[in-house]
């Protein structure tokens, strides 16, 4: 089930305002433009695939998201394929050259079972020369410690009004899961709107274990959106994975 920040129509309409285009989107756009067929898992409002089409991509672009409110925004474009669901509810067989999970969407896979199912589905969706690219925040940097009410974000919407969002992390943080509340404030609302979320922070060793089990090999890894090397203090773990040549294809009945 999608968090309220994605499933609420009014919050979905503000998503691009609060999350404007930046270096991460530039990084992924380059990848999308170099692939003939692309599946964007957790596509949200469709900003990435829409920009790719505007930039001249002529191949297949498919966005997948479990939040209908986000797809209301995405479906304003009719030249991209939009699918409601997630990797556990859909099935593609060798249909894409590139599968991406942007915006730290990979971190919403909270259990080992969810993670294995999603990776198996991504593996099935890719052709043999395909790439699976995603990012997760480096747990060693402990980014959640800066998610405090004092560091609220503000952005101006299309009507010139200021939207404000603040974060409150539930403490103590135990294990690799961090739960927090986002509070959204808008001048047109009679009260703030709140959304509670949980993200999983996995380190590179754990990520590599799951990828290997799913039939992937890490092809490249970066620590920032400028393609700098991954180091223990890098803010991001940006992974480019490819199907392993020797890995067997899951059969029709495999889960």
Q: What pLDDT digit, counting tens, does each position of 198-247 carry?
A: 999 999 999 999 999 999 999 999 999 999 999 999 999 999 999 997 44
Band of residue 250 on the pLDDT scale cut at 50, 70, 90: very low
Band of residue 112 on the pLDDT scale cut at 50, 70, 90: very high
Residue 201's SS3 state is coil
User: Considering the domain 4-137+201-243 in this protein, what is its CATH number?
Assistant: 3.40.50.150
Tens digits of residue pLDDT in 185-204: 999 999 999 999 999 999 99
CA–CA separation, 84 and 97 (whole Å): 21
Tokens for 224? 């920032």
Supply the pLDDT for residue 249.
46
CA–CA separation, 82 and 77 (whole Å): 9
For the chain, the maximum distance between any two Cα atoms, rounded to a whole number of angstroms, is: 58
Supply the pLDDT for residue 4.
86
CA–CA separation, 60 and 150 (whole Å): 43
H/E segment holding residue 156: strand 153-156
pLDDT of residue 251 exceeding 50: no
Tokens for 226? 């400028």
What's the CA dihedral at 102, 106, 81, 241 to 10 degrees? 80
Residue 249's SS3 state is coil
Tens digits of residue pLDDT in 61-105: 999 999 999 999 999 999 999 999 999 999 999 999 999 999 999
Find the mean pLDDT for residues 126-134. 96
Band of residue 1 on the pLDDT scale cut at 50, 70, 90: low
Tens digits of residue pLDDT in 149-191: 999 999 998 889 999 999 999 999 989 999 999 999 999 999 9
pLDDT of residue 113 exceeding 70: yes
Cβ(47)–Cβ(16) under 8 Å? yes
Q: Measured in Å, how far apart are the chain's first and last C-alpha atoms?
A: 20
| Domain range list for the chain | 4-137+201-243, 141-200
């Amino acid at each position: 089930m999608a968090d309220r920040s994605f499933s609420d129509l009014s919050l979905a309409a503000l998503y691009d305002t609060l999350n404007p285009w930046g270096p991460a989107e530039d990084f992924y756009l380059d990848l999308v433009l170099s692939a003939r067929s692309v599946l964007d898992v957790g596509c949200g409002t469709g900003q990435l695939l829409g920009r790719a089409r505007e930039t001249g991509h002529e191949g297949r672009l498919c966005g997948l998201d479990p939040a209908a409110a986000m797809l209301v925004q995405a479906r304003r474009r009719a030249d991209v394929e939009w699918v409601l669901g997630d990797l556990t509810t859909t099935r593609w067989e060798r249909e894409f050259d590139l599968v991406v999970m942007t915006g730290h969407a990979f971190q919403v896979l909270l259990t080992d079972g969810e993670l294995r199912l999603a990776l198996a589905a991504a593996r099935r969706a890719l052709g043999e020369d395909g790439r699976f690219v995603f990012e997760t925040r480096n747990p060693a940097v402990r980014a959640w410690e800066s998610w405090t009410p004092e560091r609220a974000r503000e952005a101006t919407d299309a009507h010139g009004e200021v939207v404000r969002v603040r974060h409150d992390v539930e403490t103590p943080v135990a294990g690799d899961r961090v739960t927090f509340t986002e509070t959204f404030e808008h001048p047109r609302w009679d009260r703030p709107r709140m959304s509670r979320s949980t993200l999983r922070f996995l380190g590179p060793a754990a990520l590599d274990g799951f990828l290997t089990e799913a039939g992937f090999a890490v092809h490249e890894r970066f620590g920032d959106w400028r393609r700098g090397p991954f180091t223990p203090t890098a803010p991001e773990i940006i992974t480019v994975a490819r199907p392993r040549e020797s890995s067997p294809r899951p059969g029709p009945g495999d889960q």
